[in-house]
Structures are given as structure tokens and as C-alpha cells.
């Protein structure tokens, strides 16, 4: 092995170490989300969203769902900013997910007769 080959091997090893130790972590961390609130947070329990008791019957749940949807309709805030409209839409989706969770948990089918009960 000549001196030139030995220097090339040491230089390659040093360059490789530098790439792995310094450049790789910088490149890898570029795609991480910035710190802050989570993009998706778990919904509260369905009975808290609909403001009913946990053991409420189907009619109470249906009435609470209709009332909450009417309260948060995006059409009611159509004249306000896009942020407010988006927030209203997210709230409607949360209310609908809570209603669906209640129906699943309590074992109720759909009202149109195509469900299980």
C-alpha cells in the first residue's frame, strides 16, 4: 500500500464520518413537523359533545344532535371570516362523529329502517 492510497483511505473515512455525524441528522430532521399543537386531537366522549347523559335514550340523543347541528351550522357564520367558517365546519364534523359513536356504542341502527334495530 502506498502513501497516497493510505491518505485517500483516511480522507474517505473522515468524510464518511462527517457525513454520518453532521450532515445526516440535519437532513433527516428537515421533514419533521414543527413543534406545536398536535394536528389531530382525540374527540371528547360523545355524551360530552352532545351534552347528554351517558345513558341517554335514542330520542334524547337524536334531539341533542339536531340541536347541536343547528347551533353550529356553517351557514350561520357565512358572513364571517374563513377561520370562523372552518371552525364551524370542524365543530359540525365533531358533532356528527359523536352522534355516530353514540349509535355504535349503544347499538342503535339507522332511523330509516335499514339498520339493525
pLDDT digit string, tens, across residues 32-85: 555 555 666 788 899 999 999 988 889 999 999 999 999 888 788 788 888 888
Domain range for 4 is 1-32
Contact, 51 vs 102, CB < 8 A?
no
Supply the pLDDT for residue 101: 92
- The answer as to whether 37 is a domain residue is no
In a domain, 59, yes or no: yes
Both 51 and 26 in a single domain? no
Instruction: Dig out the grid coordinates for 6 from the structure.
Output: 493510505
CA 85 to chain centre: 18
Position 114 pLDDT exceeds 60 = no
Is 39 within the bounds of a domain? no
50 and 85 together in one domain: yes
Q: Is 57 helix (H, G, I), strand (E, B) or coil?
A: coil
Contact of 98 with 49, CB cutoff 8 Å: yes
The structural domain count of the chain equals 2
Max avg pLDDT among 15-19, 35-39, 102-106:
102-106
Amino acid at each position: 500500500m502506498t502513501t497516497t492510497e493510505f491518505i485517500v483511505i483516511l480522507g474517505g473515512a473522515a468524510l464518511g464520518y462527517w457525513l454520518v455525524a453532521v450532515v445526516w441528522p440535519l437532513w433527516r430532521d428537515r421533514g419533521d413537523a414543527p413543534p406545536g399543537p398536535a394536528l389531530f386531537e382525540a374527540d371528547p366522549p360523545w355524551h360530552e359533545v352532545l351534552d347528554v347523559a351517558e345513558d341517554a335514550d335514542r330520542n334524547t340523543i337524536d334531539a341533542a344532535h339536531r340541536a347541536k347541528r343547528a347551533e353550529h351550522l356553517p351557514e350561520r357564520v357565512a358572513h364571517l371570516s374563513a377561520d370562523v367558517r372552518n371552525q364551524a365546519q370542524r365543530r359540525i364534523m365533531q358533532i356528527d362523529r359523536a352522534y355516530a359513536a353514540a349509535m355504535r356504542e349503544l347499538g342503535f341502527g339507522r332511523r330509516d329502517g335499514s339498520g339493525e334495530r
